[in-house]
Structure formats: structure tokens, C-alpha cells
């Protein structure tokens, strides 16, 4: 399909790349953009050759939030009818690991989209924030929930109540991102991490992602049980046999994804 708001390509090493591309509005997320991101993500997710996805924006902005112009005239019933929220929910169900590469503004809905990624890498110029309070609203796509889990209550409250912004280094210290790199190295680094994920045993990767995500939405008891079930399940795969045999034979494994 042809997309108007994103650029999509296949990178080498089993990696799918999605780039938000509304430069004039700092990648503000209108409904059409979210629809396209979801479509591209699902297409990659259904493609056995794509084993990791990189989501990025431009050097100036990952995304400066939801599109305020599009939202400004809406009333509660319009928002309720808005398909974008079910689309955000569906993004959560993408099984392929998503590496977010963030440069520049990562604000509001942009930060919420970033927090849907599984690994976040920041350029030194990245700024993270939830400025919704300045517009008389609050985060609506997971910000009040995922930010608390990512950086803890006190910092999340400050960010959401007072629009405190985090620099890349602060985001690293707070645990929101896992690495900070110079802006010019961002894409190389994100693609490197994505290729590293893509080179691993595919079923184990998917079950690892599902298991880790469970830590956010259930009790420890239920999460541990799911982890154990996924662990057992992997002992029914050829890749488990291959991985352990290869270790014992001191050779690299050859993954089949079965
Ligand atoms: C629509 C936006 C936009 C946005 C920027 N633009 N952010 N348009 N929605 N979220 C547009 C500007 O209007 C401007 O268009 C152009 O992008 C360049 O932006 P400037 O403001 O001129 O750039 P700058 O002075 O560098 O300031 C950058 C900025 C500022 C600090 C990021 O643009 C800003 O504060 N943006 C809004 C941030 C925000 O409040 N985000 C939260 C949105 S609410 P023109 O036509 O003038 O050139 C939200 C709720 C999520 O996300 C709900 C869940 C779905």
C-alpha cells in the first residue's frame, strides 16, 4: 500500500523500519498516521522474515504529540467514537519486538507511542514529556499508566502535572530508555540492536516479549506462571534442541523458527 504519513522499508538482517514522516508538524500524530503505523506494524508482524521492527521519527522530532489541530474541535462523543484508541490497543498486541529510536521532541502521544516500543534508544538531543496538562487535558494513550511503570510515581507525577521534560540522560537514569547515543549514531545503533534481536531464535524471542509484557499487567503469581508455561513450551521446539546442542558442540546455532 502507499502510505502518506510514514515511510516503510525493509532493512537488512530481518528488520522492518517505520519512519514517522510529517516533518511540517513535527510528526504530530493524526488519526491517519496511527492507522498507517498500525497497518505497517501488522504487515511486518505477519511476515516471518521480519523479526524486529524499528520505529523512528526525524532528527528534530520523534513525535510532538497527537495532532492538536485535529483534536481541537472534538467533543467527548467524538473522542469516544474515535477509532484511534482501539488502534493503540492493537499496537500493543504486535508480537515482533519493536525498537524505538527517539531523537528530538518525544511529547504527549509521541511519548506514549514511544512507550509502546519494547526497547527505547535515545539520541542525545531527545526530550521526553507529557505536556497535555498545558492544553487542559491529560495523557490518553497510556501515559498515566506506562510512565509510572517506567520512571516511578514521583517523576511521572511531576512530568504529567507540571510538564517537566526529561533530557536523554535523565530518561536513561530514570529507566525510560536503555541507551543514549550521539544523534548521528542513532539509526545505526537502533538497527544494530534490532538485527541482534532478529538473529535470535524466533519463537523464544516472541515468547520472551510476551512474558516480559505480562510483568506490567498482572500479578507476580500469574506472571510467573505464564513465564513457566512459555519456558516449558520452548522445550517442544527444534530451536531449543539446536541451541543446546550447538552450545555443547561449541558451534553457532542455526535457528529454524520451529
Ligand atoms: C499539531 C503541531 C504539534 C502538535 C507541533 N506542531 N506540535 N501541530 N499538533 N502536537 C506544529 C506547529 O503548530 C507548527 O506548525 C510546526 O509543528 C512546528 O512547530 P513549532 O511550534 O513552530 O516549533 P518549535 O517552536 O520548535 O516548538 C516545538 C514544540 C511545540 C515545543 C514541540 O511545537 C509544541 O509545544 N508542540 C505541542 C506539544 C504538545 O502539547 N503535545 C501534546 C499534544 S496532546 P506551523 O503551521 O505553525 O508551522 C497529546 C494527547 C495524546 O498528545 C492523547 C492520546 C491519543
Q: Which atom of ligand 1 is nearest to the CA of 85?
A: 55
Over the stretch 112-136, which tens digit does the pLDDT of each residue have?
Answer: 999 999 999 999 999 999 999 999 9
- The pLDDT of residue 85 is above 90: no
Helix axes 143-151, 153-162, angle to 10 degrees: 140
**If DSSP codes are grouped into helix, strand and coil, which group holds residue 102?**
strand
Secondary structure (3-state) at 246: helix
Q: How far from the centroid of its chain's Cα atoms is residue 131's Cα?
A: 20
Residue 196 clears pLDDT 90, i.e. is over it: yes
* Element containing residue 68 per DSSP (H, E): helix 68-71
Q: Whose CA is nearest to atom 32 of ligand 1?
A: 64
State whether the Cα torsion 146-149-151-156 is positive or negative.
Answer: positive
Give the three-state DSSP class for 181: strand
- Do the beta carbons of residue 14 and residue 45 sit within 8 Å? no
Interface predicted TM-score (ipTM) of this complex, two decimals? 0.98
Mean pLDDT of the chain: 97
Cα–ligand 1 centroid distance for 230 (angstroms): 42
Pick left, alpha or beta for residue 17 (phi over 0 → left; psi -120 to 50 → alpha; otherwise beta). beta
Residue 237: partners with Cβ closer than 8 Å, 6 or more residues away: 201, 203, 204, 258
Residues having CB closer than 6 A to ligand 1 are 25-26, 28, 64-69, 105, 107-109, 131-132, 135, 139-141
For the CA of 108, the nearest atom of ligand 1: 52
- Ligand 1, atom 12, residue with closest C-alpha: 25
The three cell numbers of residue 140 are: 490518553
Burial of 36 (0-12, 13-18, 19+ CB in 10 A): buried
Give nearest CA residue, ligand 1 atom 8.
25
Taking a C-beta distance cutoff of 8 angstroms, is the pair 101, 185 a contact?
no
pLDDT for residue 81: 86
Tell me what pLDDT residue 164 has: 98
Is pLDDT of 80 > 90?
A: no
pLDDT of residue 60: 98
18-61 pLDDT per residue, tens: 999 999 999 999 999 999 999 999 999 999 999 999 999 999 99
CB 18 within 8 Å of CB 54: yes
Q: Which of 34, 62, 65 to mutate to test the pocket of ligand 1 (most atoms within 8 A of CB)?
A: 65
Q: Can you list the positions of beta strands (E) in 112-170?
A: 119-123, 127-129, 166-167
Distance, CA 193 to ligand 1 centroid (Å)? Answer: 30
- Which residue among 59, 60, 61, 68 is best mutated to probe the pocket of ligand 1, counting the most ligand atoms within 8 A of its Cβ? 68
Amino acid at each position: 500500500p502507499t502510505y502518506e504519513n510514514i515511510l516503510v522499508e525493509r532493512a537488512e538482517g530481518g528488520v522492518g523500519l517505520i519512519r514517522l514522516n510529517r516533518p511540517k508538524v513535527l510528526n504530530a500524530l493524526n488519526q491517519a498516521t496511527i492507522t498507517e503505523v498500525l497497518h505497517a506494524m501488522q504487515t511486518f508482524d505477519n511476515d516471518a522474515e521480519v523479526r524486529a521492527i524499528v520505529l523512528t521519527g526525524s532528527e528534530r522530532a520523534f513525535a510532538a504529540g497527537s495532532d492538536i489541530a485535529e483534536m481541537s474541535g472534538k467533543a467527548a462523543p467524538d473522542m469516544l467514537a474515535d477509532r484511534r484508541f482501539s488502534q493503540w490497543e492493537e499496537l500493543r498486541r504486535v508480537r515482533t519486538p519493536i525498537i524505538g529510536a527517539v531523537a528530538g521532541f518525544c511529547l504527549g502521544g509521541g511519548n506514549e507511542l514511544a512507550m509502546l516500543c519494547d526497547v527505547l534508544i535515545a539520541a542525545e538531543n531527545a526530550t521526553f514529556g507529557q505536556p497535555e496538562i498545558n492544553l487542559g487535558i491529560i495523557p490518553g494513550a497510556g501515559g498515566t499508566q506506562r510512565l509510572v511503570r517506567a520512571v516511578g510515581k514521583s517523576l511521572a507525577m511531576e512530568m504529567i502535572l507540571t510538564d517537566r521534560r526529561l533530557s536523554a540522560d535523565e530518561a536513561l537514569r530514570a529507566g525510560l530508555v536503555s541507551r543514549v547515543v550521539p544523534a548521528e549514531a542513532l539509526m545505526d545503533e537502533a538497527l544494530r540492536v534490532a538485527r541482534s534481536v532478529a538473529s535470535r531464535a524466533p519463537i523464544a524471542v516472541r515468547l520472551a516479549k510476551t512474558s516480559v509484557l505480562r510483568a506490567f499487567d498482572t500479578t507476580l503469581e500469574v506472571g510467573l506462571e505464564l513465564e513457566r508455561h512459555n519456558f516449558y513450551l520452548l522445550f517442544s521446539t527444534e530451536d531449543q534442541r539446536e541451541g543446546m546442542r550447538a552450545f555443547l558442540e561449541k558451534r553457532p546455532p542455526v535457528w529454524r523458527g520451529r
